[in-house]
Amino acid sequence: MSALERALEYSKKLKLDECEIVTSQREIITVRITDSEIFELKQNFEKSCGLRIIQDKKITSIQTNNDDEISKAIYSSLKNISKLKRREFWKPLPSKLNSRITLEGVYDKKLEVISGSKATDLAQSMINSSLDSRIKTISGALNIVSETFEIGNSNGLTLIDKGTYVSGIINADSKGHSEVSGLGHGCSRTLDEFFPEKIGEDAKTMCIETSNPKTCDSGEYSIIFEPYSVGELLAFVISANFNFKTYTEKKSCFVDKLNEKIAVDEFCLIDNPHLPQGIGSKPFDDEGVPTKINTLIDKGEFVNTYSNLFDSLKEKTESTGNASRPGSPMGRSSEPIPISAPHNIEIQSGDISKEEMIKDTKHGLIVGRLWYTYAVNPIKGDFSCTARSGIKIIENGKIINAGKPVRIIHNLQKLLKDVSAIGNDKKNVIQWASIPSATPSIKVERIKVNVI
């Protein structure tokens, strides 16, 4: 009998109103790169269970790594349930699905059975393609995750999903007095769509092309954010504003602006759980609700939010299928209480190339990577970040020099209304243990920067 079956059987024996159990089995391979060589290979196997119990509309939870003690864990979680607050709004957990979406390109047997030596070969390919006499040192990591996620509840729901993930990142640091770094990144769900050599090449190219940087004058610029830097903004500044809980608690900078224009007409923002090769793609969310493509901004208009069961039931509406139990570095975990999160937050591509953006820029910067990105005042939309890598100075349609790091303090509401171009170079991106995204380069006008 499986852990899930034992939990459900015991919950019936105790005559619990509802019991939900999630089990996660994950094999994780991590290859760490330091000083231009492979420093460490780690292979871990994780297996855990998370339980959420609802009794008399009171919700309690517990997590365990021991299958043999599930009954004890359930019994233990009930000890203090009488002290908990009743959630009068609660309605039953999902029951058996009538149909299920089948997604392609989210599981690869090659990644599931990949050996440590093969993973090391992939990491070495990343290193080899980064090497250059002008580069001093190379660092980075390769992560491969294979998982089986299972969810069941006492209402008859039983679902299993297998997934694989691979992500690599390389930092290439230059020689010389003014050291700069280049970034290369790639992620996918199948081995055939993962290109380690390109990761190294991208890091090397960015590093070499931004060597001997010049100090940028403080002032106002047009900024072309490349995909990895846009992904940083999406993960740490933009996405939270469309969380239904954040919106209803009036902590979003777009509160009371539903069905109003908050961006330029060309800007469309989507949560796409069915994105090919998307790190967050899945057929059902982490409560067993079928996933669906959810448009958040349509032609500049704020049209929707995302939510899980608890937050939506509290406001007497329906879940959008965005319950998430995020696992690190990728995939799902057995956290007993899910949060609300987008699966793959995606900016729809435009039809302009980055080269055309540059030609149309009089006074601007290109930014390849952001660091220390956070909301300074989330309710107003103010945020701060540091442009660290891949900085190039543009004057009269031409790149004239590499630029040194600058600090950007800006406002999200203003940024979305000042987007002047959306590129055709969309890429899947994931920052470390963060929200997956898919985004092209975007150009934004009238951004003030300060010299560091």
Closest Cα partner for 216 from 361, 391, 369, 373? Answer: 391
- Look at residue 325 in the predicted model and tell me its pLDDT: 97
Beta-strand relationship, 219-225 and 363-367 = parallel
Q: Tell me which of 163, 186, 209 is where a domain ends.
A: 209
CA distance 129 to 215: 29
- Look at residue 176 in the predicted model and tell me its pLDDT: 74
Q: How many domains does the chain have?
A: 2
Residue 10 has pLDDT above 90, yes or no: no
Whether residues 284 and 419 fall in one domain: yes
Which tens digits make up the pLDDT trace of 248-260?
999 999 999 999 9
What tokens were used for 443? 């150009």
- Look at residue 215 in the predicted model and tell me its pLDDT: 95
Which tens digits make up the pLDDT trace of 82-133?
899 999 999 999 998 777 788 999 999 999 999 999 999 999 999 999 999 9
Long-range CB pairs of 38-46, under 8 A, 24+ apart, other chains included? 38/120, 38/123, 38/124, 38/127, 41/116, 41/119, 41/120, 43/116
Whether residues 373 and 233 fall in one domain: yes
Residue 273 has pLDDT above 80, yes or no: yes
Whether residues 139 and 281 fall in one domain: no
What tokens were used for 394? 């543009």
Kindly indicate the confidence band of residue 76, based on its pLDDT and cuts at 50, 70 and 90. confident
Neighbours of 107 (CB within 10 A): 18
Share of the chain above pLDDT 70, in %: 99
- Taking phi over 0 as left and psi of -120 to 50 as alpha, with beta for the rest, 212 belongs to left
CA distance 377 to 355: 34
Span 41-58, average pLDDT = 96
- Look at residue 4 in the predicted model and tell me its pLDDT: 85
Residue 68 has pLDDT above 90, yes or no: no
Span 369-392, average pLDDT = 95
> What CATH number should be reported for the domain holding residue 81?
3.30.2290.10
Domain-embedded: residue 377: yes
Residue 1 has pLDDT above 80, yes or no: no
Span 328-336, average pLDDT = 96
Domain-embedded: residue 34: yes
What tokens were used for 250? 């009036």
DSSP 367-435: E-EEEEEEEEETTTTEEEEEEEES-EEEETTEEEEEB--EEEEEEHHHHHHTEEEEBS--EEE--TTS-
- Look at residue 361 in the predicted model and tell me its pLDDT: 98
Q: Tell me which of 209, 239, 254 is where a domain ends.
A: 209
Domain-embedded: residue 282: yes
Domain-embedded: residue 345: yes
CA distance 159 to 95: 11
Residue environment code for 288-317, b if the CB has 16+ CB neighbours within 10 A, otherwise e: bbbbeebbbbbebbbbbbbbbbbbbbbeee
Whether residues 290 and 159 fall in one domain: no
Residues forming a β-bridge with 293:
none
Residue 66 has pLDDT above 90, yes or no: no
Domain-embedded: residue 214: no
Span 196-208, average pLDDT = 97
Whether residues 333 and 425 fall in one domain: yes
Q: Tell me which of 158, 184, 209 is where a domain ends.
A: 209
Whether residues 149 and 123 fall in one domain: yes
Q: Which helix (H) or strand (E) holds 203?
A: helix 196-209
Beta-strand relationship, 135-153 and 382-389 = unpaired
CA distance 262 to 413: 7
Whether residues 21 and 84 fall in one domain: yes
Closest Cα partner for 48 from 181, 162, 150? Answer: 150
Averaged pLDDT score across all residues of the chain: 95
Whether residues 414 and 294 fall in one domain: yes
Domain that holds residue 13: 3-209
Whether residues 200 and 272 fall in one domain: no
Residue 301's SS3 state is strand
Whether residues 316 and 263 fall in one domain: yes
Kindly indicate the confidence band of residue 57, based on its pLDDT and cuts at 50, 70 and 90. very high
Span 216-220, average pLDDT = 95
Q: Which amino acid is at 279?
A: I
Residues forming a β-bridge with 169:
141, 185
Which tens digits make up the pLDDT trace of 148-184?
999 999 999 999 999 999 999 999 999 876 789 999 9
Domain-embedded: residue 373: yes
- Look at residue 177 in the predicted model and tell me its pLDDT: 66
Span 232-260, average pLDDT = 97
Residue 2 has pLDDT above 90, yes or no: no
- Can you list the positions of beta strands (E) in 108-189? 135-153, 158-174, 181-188
CA distance 165 to 328: 11
Span 309-313, average pLDDT = 98
Whether residues 388 and 244 fall in one domain: yes
Whether residues 347 and 243 fall in one domain: yes
Span 183-199, average pLDDT = 98
Domain-embedded: residue 148: yes
